[in-house]
């Protein structure tokens, strides 16, 4: 089977955009909907992975707003993508994302600025206990209805 790859890279996607795509096809956490929705098992594995990352709390406006404000810090596109996907809360989490920060003039002040922007604009990941509570609430509603 010969595939002709027309364009190997027709655009990079953030985790949020892939999650949004799966959501629009009907993917969800509800077990009954899972069987009916036109989403395959392997796509559900990706959905489950993404629901545990910060992507599950993001929206398109949040991301466009964040990448606009990132322009001041002169970050590479790949670095902005990494920050959106990982949502670092501490300097030490941001460090492996930035490449050669000292040579590019990104000092501690700039790093703190980036972290403040992340804290202000990107919603944090819900804690594991909160996620557990949400699941319990859903099942209770299911039983009542």
Residues that bind other proteins (CB under 8 A): 1-15, 17-18, 21-22, 40, 42-43, 45-46, 48-49, 52-53, 78, 81-82, 85-86, 88-97, 99, 108
Distances (CA, A) of 77 to 30, 67, 71, 82, 119: 35, 9, 10, 9, 19
Please say which residue, 60 or 95, places its beta carbon nearer to other proteins. 95
Please say which residue, 109 or 141, places its beta carbon nearer to other proteins. 109
Smallest gap from Cβ 145 to other proteins, in A, equals 30
Please say which residue, 123 or 142, places its beta carbon nearer to other proteins. 123
Please say which residue, 96 or 123, places its beta carbon nearer to other proteins. 96
Phi and psi at residue 72, to the nearest 5°: -60, -30
Distances (CA, A) of 43 to 36, 59, 85, 122, 135: 14, 21, 19, 25, 21
d(CA 135, CA 51): 13
Smallest gap from Cβ 30 to other proteins, in A, equals 19
Q: Give SS3 for 140.
A: helix
Smallest gap from Cβ 69 to other proteins, in A, equals 21
């Amino acid at each position: 089977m010969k595939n002709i790859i027309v364009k190997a890279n027709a655009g990079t996607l953030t985790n949020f955009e892939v999650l949004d795509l799966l959501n629009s096809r009907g993917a969800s956490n509800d077990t009954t909907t899972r069987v009916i929705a036109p989403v395959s098992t392997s796509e559900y594995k990706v959905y489950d992975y993404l629901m545990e990352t910060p992507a599950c709390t993001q929206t398109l406006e949040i991301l466009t707003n964040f990448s606009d404000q990132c322009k001041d810090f002169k970050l590479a596109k790949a670095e902005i993508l990494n920050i959106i996907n990982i949502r670092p809360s501490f300097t030490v989490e941001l460090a492996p994302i930035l490449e050669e920060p000292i040579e590019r003039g990104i000092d501690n002040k700039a790093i703190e600025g980036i972290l403040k922007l992340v804290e202000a604009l990107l919603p944090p990941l819900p804690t594991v206990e909160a996620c557990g509570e949400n699941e319990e609430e859903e099942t209770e509603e299911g039983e009542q209805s």
